[in-house]
Amino acid sequence: MDKMNKTQLQRAIGYFHGVTFLLSSVIGAGIFIAPKGVLKYSSLHVGVTLSIWAACAAVSMITALTYAEVGTTFPRSGAQYYFLKRSLGSPFVFFCFWTSFFTTPAGLASRTLLLAEYVIQPFYPGCSAPTLPKKCLALAILWSLGILGVQGVKKVTWFQTVSTMMKTTVLCLIALNGVILLVMRKENLIRLGNAFSSDLPNISQIPEAFFQGFYAYSGWQSMVSIAGEVKNPAKNIPRCIFTALSLVTILYLLVNISYLTVLTPEEIIASDAVAMTWADRVIPSYQWIISIGVSTSILSGLLSTIFSSARLYHCASQEGQIPLLFSMLNIHSSPALAVIQIIIFASVMIFPSDLIRLINLIGYSGSIQIGLTIMGLIKLRYQEPNLLRPFKVHLSCACGTFILFFLLVLIPIIQSPKMYHIYVLFFILSGFLLYLFFVHFKFCFGWFNELTCYLQLLLNVSPPDGPEEYISKETTLPKKCSRVSTKI
């Protein structure tokens, strides 16, 4: 059979599209939500706030490059889940999948509601938009993205390239105006300097502030999640991560300085849409440009999340963690059922929520997952030292990152325990119980096979044609075969 006609995930993402895809994944709602949360948990201290943003950038870069080792060693879609199963075992990988089973749709729902708020608010000047139209618009946006998400990697990367150019332009506009105002108006520089004199936050607040900033940088995991669709992953995955996160770091720091140049910390805390408040103060006649940029940013971030999360379902299904139906592909080589399931769960969760609290929940559970992945990487270094690794990070970076995330998880529980810590504990316990019941003891309902056949016909999906070529020998070949394994 012709290789190009096989029902398989296709390697169609090169360096340029990889960088734009990562920019699109990272630059989303975070930069428009997180500044408020970082300031809040930094006790309105500007110096601490900017230090948190810089620290989040450094940690994100090191952690992303650590993940790049996973993606280049096992260059398949959903690489981190396959890697966790190999290094720590099935229960831990099921736990990671189980927590993301809820946190991913919850994050999608909240960001979609935020997007609907930005889109619909201009039609209700002077008052808040009604809840029902906002929810209906959010549902329409979600399902439109779901339809695009099942169309395959080429259409998604084309859309992401266009949207990335638009939102990067808007962020550059905000950053450039902030620098000009800071240089030209002395009073702005004085006010910014005075904001450094606020009281320092309590140590228990630092992890909360870090979760807020780290959320704005989140999204770099998507490159590892789609490693099976990246051309020459051994070379392109590290390059794409380093290029994209470097650009994001510069943009984020300049945008935050621009916010703080124009608005006081109290005004940022009081605003529900910081970018719109900034635009109303600086360029009110061009406020619609900021609105379009924010909407595009959130929209493309939503699509990136749907696209990469569906690949994790695909991998988990192939590894026997969830039903095989989730790994079946449509004619566009897309795991259609996985996309549909994510959209359905997110649709159910369309309700007004506290975004800052939700970010803390996502950040806390995400820190546990990152810590487990890095622990597995360290364990596999000693367990399989001869494993072919086209890209390696220094072991001290991996160990330092693991200690950091361990402290981020532990300090809030000791200093100021919150209700969402109990939620995470509940998810862990329920996940392990489900693992024992459905995966370990392989319990299956008798009617499930009939349902699988019906859904396969309804969605026109089929299993991939044979094993994926990029996971066959490269994980066990000796070093003399490295040249063959990195050329895909």
Tens digit of each residue's pLDDT (9 = 90 or more) over 408-422? 777 777 777 766 667
Among the listed residues 28, 64, 378, 354, the one whose alpha carbon sits nearest the alpha carbon of residue 215: 28
Inter-axis angle of helices 153-184 and 274-282, to 10 degrees? 50
Q: Is the CB of residue 177 less than 8 Å from the CB of residue 258? A: yes
**Which is more confidently placed, 98 or 6?**
98
- pLDDT, residue 247, reads 92
Mean pLDDT of 176-190: 76
- pLDDT, residue 300, reads 79
Mean pLDDT of 203-210: 80
| C-alpha distances in Å from residue 100, one per residue of 60, 310, 313, 326, 422 | 19, 11, 10, 15, 16
- pLDDT, residue 278, reads 84
Among the listed residues 281, 200, 222, 194, the one whose alpha carbon sits nearest the alpha carbon of residue 24: 222
Neighbour count for residue 454 (Cβ, 10 Å) = 10
* Lowest-confidence region among 125-139, 161-175, 418-432: 418-432
pTM over 0.75: no
What residues form DSSP beta bridges with 462? Answer: 329
DSSP label of 230: B
- pLDDT, residue 486, reads 32
Domain chopping of the chain, boundaries: 3-485
Neighbour count for residue 313 (Cβ, 10 Å) = 26
Residue 104 scores a pLDDT above 70: yes
- pLDDT, residue 44, reads 80
Residue 291 scores a pLDDT above 70: yes
Q: How confident is the model at residue 194 (pLDDT cuts 50, 70, 90)?
A: low
- Could you tell me what percent of the chain has a pLDDT over 70? 82
Residue 243 scores a pLDDT above 90: yes
**Which is more confidently placed, 343 or 97?**
343
Residue 426 scores a pLDDT above 90: no
Q: How confident is the model at residue 28 (pLDDT cuts 50, 70, 90)?
A: confident
Q: Which residues contact 9 (CB under 8 A, 6 or more apart)?
A: 77, 153, 228, 229, 311, 314, 329, 333, 464, 468
Which pLDDT tens digit goes with each residue over 2-23?
A: 444 555 666 778 888 888 888 8
Residue whose entry in the numeric block shows the structure tokens 């996971």: 471
Domain 3-485 fold is Amino acid/polyamine transporter I (1.20.1740)
Among the listed residues 268, 298, 274, 248, the one whose alpha carbon sits nearest the alpha carbon of residue 49: 268
Q: How confident is the model at residue 245 (pLDDT cuts 50, 70, 90)?
A: very high
Residue 468 scores a pLDDT above 60: no
Q: Is the CB of residue 229 less than 8 Å from the CB of residue 9? A: yes
Mean pLDDT of 205-232: 82
Residue 174 scores a pLDDT above 60: yes
Q: Is the dihedral of CA 284, 112, 129, 216 positive or negative?
A: negative
Across the chain, mean pLDDT equals: 78
Distance, in Å, from the CA atom of 335 to the CA atom of 436, rounded to the nearest integer, reads 26
Q: Is the CB of residue 298 less than 8 Å from the CB of residue 28? A: yes
Distance, in Å, from the CA atom of 107 to the CA atom of 350, rounded to the nearest integer, reads 10
Residue 480 scores a pLDDT above 50: no
